[in-house]
Structure 1
């Protein structure tokens, strides 16, 4: 399932002034790469799009699994709009890439959903770890994949999610290598951000959560782990893709890993104290 993901070079600062500018560039095809570092003050979201007859079960799945699936918004059936996340936002065009699953099999990767959109589609927007990275960087916690312009490394684990209706499957995690002091600070910072996955779910030995080869992520790009660093793992919004492969619904659509929906919500508004 490790699929190649297109990259655009990542400048130190976002090339877009606002989230709306980024969405327009994505919608027009001017930006086709991953969204790490784009509109860094804004909340990014994972997508799960399902026929309406499965939406209730998936809502219960999200409620039962808030770490990998913290909900930011749910659309009305057939609507491509979610005004609470952006007045001009179009759910069918504003992620740089989408994946189509049929009966658990990945059958297509497409730049937009214009040709396949249905009147019964319900879209779930799920919090993304890219949003807490702004807070980590502001606190001086280095993130190697951001510095190198790479997509974050993501892995399918042996940790099961809590089933709801037909939805079940393994937890997917994202990994960032950190020195011990930075890991402690990252736990403190992300623990205040449950809307974008919250605190890590595991630190250290990847084999303890079923990851056989840390150098070979299932999604995203590998990054080096230096001798004085440890891998730190967060629950990841790519989990619904692993769930789609396990539950095998007749049809569902997700974002492509690392190619997120950028909303008008601000990261600073997500924290609780």
Structure 2
């Protein structure tokens, strides 16, 4: 992985570097001010039910775009992009089990694949920093920890499963501000689902996230949990479709949408 892209890069520049193999790392902190997206790809036979599932669960699954079957490169949210090559890393699931983590899915693409782009909390991080909220993980380039919770999504068709959350350690004095800022960004999961005791979400050990990197909560900080776009990956483990492809956690798709244009 090279360091040729950063917070000041445009999404098009970042996608070009990713497509060329110049960036395979996490996308937290990249392309400040632009919307990042989670990815879920399913066979067309499941697409209608998954669309209903997203609409029934807008906090963990804020729907940004749905492609036509077999079309990976005619995106409203990122003209000129290609979903087969423009994410740093993917996850391929077969019958709900993780099979591989390629950096391209060109060889796996099928004419019946429908892709879903879902909002991501990374899109809110620049707004939080602009509001003066400290995000320690960005200072070190670390990813956020993500946890499977005891909360359940509203089922739709064949889709059901737990809500996944991402956690950021927020200073007690900045908690109200962080909640207010993110409440204005429903496309990035909106306000926190919970702040404080992780046991309220069924999380037994903050030091052992299901995805991402652990984050220590320092004195004077509160663990704050936002709904997370890794939720489909937890759902896939329960639903077990023949094949599904997602982004690797924290390796997002960089759209051309500006956060400021979507915020009220």
TM-score by length of 1: 0.94
Q: Tell me, yes or no, if the aligned pair for 1:157 and 1:172 is still in contact at 8 Å.
A: yes
1:115-264 aligned at under 5 Å gives the runs: 115-264=107-256
**What's the offset of the Cα at 1:9?**
6.8
Return the alpha-carbon distance in structure 1 between the equivalents of residues 9 and 253 of structure 2: 16
**1:65-116 residue CA offsets vs partner (Å, 9 max, x unmatched):** 0000001100000001243111111011111011011111111111110110
Structure 2: how far apart are the matches of 1:160 and 1:82?
Answer: 33
Shift of 1:144: 1.1
Taking the aligned partners of 1:248 and 1:115, their CA distance within structure 2 comes to 22
Query: Which one of the candidate residues 59, 66, 72 is aligned to 2:58?
Result: 66
Q: Deviations over 1:27-51 (max 9, x none)?
A: 1110010001111111000000000
Moved more, 86-95 or 52-61: 86-95
Structure 2 unmatched ranges of 5 or more: none
**Matched residue, 1:102:** 94
Please provide the CA RMSD for this pair.
1.4
Aligned residues: 264
Which structure 1 residue ranges, 4+ long, deviate > 4 Å from structure 2? 7-11
Measure how far apart 1:58 and its partner are.
Answer: 0.1
Structure 1 CA distance, aligned partners of 2:172 and 2:158?
40
Q: Distance in 2 between matches of 1:10 and 1:149?
A: 15
Q: Is the 8 A contact 1:9 1:149 kept in 2?
A: no
SS at match of 1:226: coil
8 A contact 2:34–2:256 mirrored in 1: yes
Asked whether 1:48 is paired with 2:70, we answer no
Compute the displacement of 1:17 (Å). 2.7
In structure 1, the partner of 2:261 is 269
- 1:10 Cα deviation (Å)? 10
Question: Could you state the TM-score of these two structures normalised by the residue count of structure 2?
Answer: 0.97
